Structure 1
Amino acid sequence: MKLNQIKIAIDVIITITLGLLYTTHGALGLAFHEWAGILILVGFVVHVAVSWEWVVAVTKRLFGATRPRARFPYVLDILVLLSMGWTIVSGVLISRVATPQLASSAPLWRATHVPISYLTLIIIGVHLGMHWEWLMSTLRRLTKRPRATGALRWTLAAIAALVFAGGGYATVITGALPKAVAFQGGEGGMRAGHVEGAAPPAGQPGGGMGRGPGGGRGMEGARGMEGARGGASGSDATSLLLHTGVIAAFAVPTFYADKLVTHARRKKRSMTPSQLPA
């Protein structure tokens, strides 16, 4: 049980940190954005380490006789690892504070950093929805509370609906979906991919917050992670609320869709051959 407690604590820390990484206009600033973005890798490594037995077991069964329900979370985990890894590496290669000595002028990193970071939020939301039942059962065991029934169950469902509505609003306000595919837009993707406070690509004066030809601050891309929304996530608290809301917007429907599919499969398995549809 201690491992589960550690895993839940790490996941909470990762989620809060992620929510704070989508702005550099707040009090934490660009230095926090870059260093926390690198150090969050430690959290993912520990998360995988405490889940290693599950990883090994599912890997062994992955290509054997196992249920699709077991394969899908595994694929999601790989996608989270790849998207987060890409976000961290691209962040390092466009860094101005943490690792400026490693900065690259290659346009690929700047063009993909923001889009893939938003794609990571979406994948994490789906991942959380697939593991929500495990999370709730673990918390019930830790707190010694029984499974919700009756009025409490409907109350929790109503809360989930409100959370989903708030998450949908956050997804619209942050422009998470358009930003997640912005790198497909050529130069438009490049502009959307400017990290707030990052140096401009080679040969592009005034980009990001770099110094323009006249020695002053270039203003193009100053909004960076906020994009065309004009700083909707400008403060740290607002960024945390909005971007964890994006995670919730994908976690809630994933959880209920998974429940419906699981219920349908159980019902089908309980049917006699004569009851099965032709």
Structure 2
Amino acid sequence: MKKINYVKFALDLVMGLLFVLFFNKNVFGGLKFHEIAGLVFAGAYITHILLNWGWVKRVTLKMFDRRLSWRVRGSYALNFLLMVSMTFIIVSGILISHVLFPNLNVGNENWFKMTHISVSFLVLALIGIHVGLHWQWVVNMCEKMTSVKKSRAWMRYVAQGLTLIILLFGLYQINQTSYVTQLKSSVSVFGMNTQQSGFEGKGAFKGGEQGGTREGRPSGGGGQSGFDRGGKGGNVSFVSVILTYTGIMGVFVIVAYYLKKLSVYRKRKTVANPN
């Protein structure tokens, strides 16, 4: 296997861990970590795109070719949506920065704050779908690095058991964090002002600036708001945050993986029995 695949795997793993940590501003010292790690994430994401630029270029040039499969077109559309959303999160994060870029002044900072939050919840789902569609690649990489073959019977049972546990845990966290409400807001927030956006419940920036600290209500992730921007921070378990939002992402991974598996099964059945 090409060494570049190991680099891609490690990079994707780091990006995934960083992204779920961003859902709580109180981990690792608070806002300072969030903004510095955000720049690291931005650099990693640009590197990710460059490492996969060959595929992007090939598909872009063939986009109007009728022979290009709908599966590839769908993957391309998903990646494009991810790129646009991720770029918005990075740029809006810089515009509302209070630590690294405190002198940047934007016309409607509250709008950027709200959309920065809401689009992040959408991206969490998109990343999960992206991983689910490429799950076989992840499994192959893990097998190469650990020399453990999933083909063994006991491994299949363990994998199925873990899948069920992750699905149930993820659904529980979706309910606990009001994730569906946040996801709906990510669709409707554009074109609205901050009073209309509905971010006055869980996970929102509650109130204004008070002594340099922005307050929020708890909504999961270790008993803290997904976007609680406490100035001091450091009082939240990063493990709890990772488990909460990785669990939510896992729901989308599982759904996307099995939908793809079902699609492949139906296609093979149609080919085998055309009539």
Q: 1:1-278, aligned counterparts within 5 Å? A: 1-64=2-65, 65-106=67-108, 107-182=110-185, 184=188, 186=192, 187-189=195-197, 191-192=199-200, 207-208=207-208, 210-211=209-210, 222-223=215-216, 226=219, 231=224, 234-271=236-273, 273=274, 276=275
Assess, with a 3 A threshold, how the Cα gap between structure 1 residues 148 and 173 changes in structure 2: closer, same or farther. Answer: same
Identity of aligned residues (%): 28
The AA in structure 1 aligned to 2:74 is F
When normalised by structure 2's length, the TM-score is 0.83
Q: Following superposition, which runs of at least 4 residues in structure 1 exceed 3 angstroms of deviation?
A: 141-147, 190-197, 224-227, 232-235
Considering Cα pairs closer than 8 Å and 6+ residues apart, tell me whether 1 or 2 has the greater RCO. Answer: 2
The AA in structure 2 aligned to 1:231 is Q
**How far 1:155 sits from its partner (Å)?**
2.4
Assess, with a 3 A threshold, how the Cα gap between structure 1 residues 16 and 235 changes in structure 2: closer, same or farther. Answer: same
Assess, with a 3 A threshold, how the Cα gap between structure 1 residues 196 and 181 changes in structure 2: closer, same or farther. Answer: closer
**How far 1:225 sits from its partner (Å)?**
8.3
The AA in structure 2 aligned to 1:75 is A
**How far 1:253 sits from its partner (Å)?**
1.1
Measure, in 1, the Cα distance between the counterparts of 2:60 and 2:218. 36
Measure, in 2, the Cα distance between the counterparts of 1:157 and 1:230. 30
Further displaced range: 69-78 or 117-126: 69-78
Q: CA RMSD in A?
A: 2.8
Secondary structure of 2:197's aligned partner: helix
**How far 1:188 sits from its partner (Å)?**
4.9
Measure, in 2, the Cα distance between the counterparts of 1:194 and 1:226. 5
Measure, in 2, the Cα distance between the counterparts of 1:57 and 1:143. 32
**How far 1:193 sits from its partner (Å)?**
9.8
Assess, with a 3 A threshold, how the Cα gap between structure 1 residues 143 and 217 changes in structure 2: closer, same or farther. Answer: closer
Rg larger in structure: 1
Cα deviation, 1:146-197, whole Å, max 9, x if unaligned, reads 4424342232112111111111122222222211232536525264599988
Secondary structure of 1:170's aligned partner: helix
Further displaced range: 262-271 or 138-147: 138-147
How many positions carry a matched residue from both structures?
A: 257
Measure, in 2, the Cα distance between the counterparts of 1:173 and 1:60. 44
Measure, in 1, the Cα distance between the counterparts of 2:225 and 2:203. 15
Structure 1 runs not aligned, ≥5 long: 198-205
Measure, in 1, the Cα distance between the counterparts of 2:74 and 2:82. 12
Measure, in 2, the Cα distance between the counterparts of 1:133 and 1:231. 34
The AA in structure 2 aligned to 1:27 is F
The AA in structure 2 aligned to 1:238 is S
Assess, with a 3 A threshold, how the Cα gap between structure 1 residues 261 and 24 changes in structure 2: closer, same or farther. Answer: same
Assess, with a 3 A threshold, how the Cα gap between structure 1 residues 104 and 130 changes in structure 2: closer, same or farther. Answer: same
Assess, with a 3 A threshold, how the Cα gap between structure 1 residues 194 and 18 changes in structure 2: closer, same or farther. Answer: same
When normalised by structure 1's length, the TM-score is 0.82
Secondary structure of 1:222's aligned partner: strand
* Larger helix proportion of the pair: 1
Assess, with a 3 A threshold, how the Cα gap between structure 1 residues 143 and 25 changes in structure 2: closer, same or farther. Answer: closer
In the alignment, is the contact (CA less than 8 A) between 2:21 and 2:27 conserved in 1?
A: no
Secondary structure of 1:27's aligned partner: helix
The AA in structure 2 aligned to 1:236 is F
Measure, in 2, the Cα distance between the counterparts of 1:129 and 1:249. 9
Measure, in 2, the Cα distance between the counterparts of 1:167 and 1:97. 33
Measure, in 2, the Cα distance between the counterparts of 1:35 and 1:163. 30
Measure, in 2, the Cα distance between the counterparts of 1:161 and 1:113. 32
Assess, with a 3 A threshold, how the Cα gap between structure 1 residues 59 and 224 changes in structure 2: closer, same or farther. Answer: farther
In the alignment, is the contact (CA less than 8 A) between 1:196 and 1:225 conserved in 2?
A: no
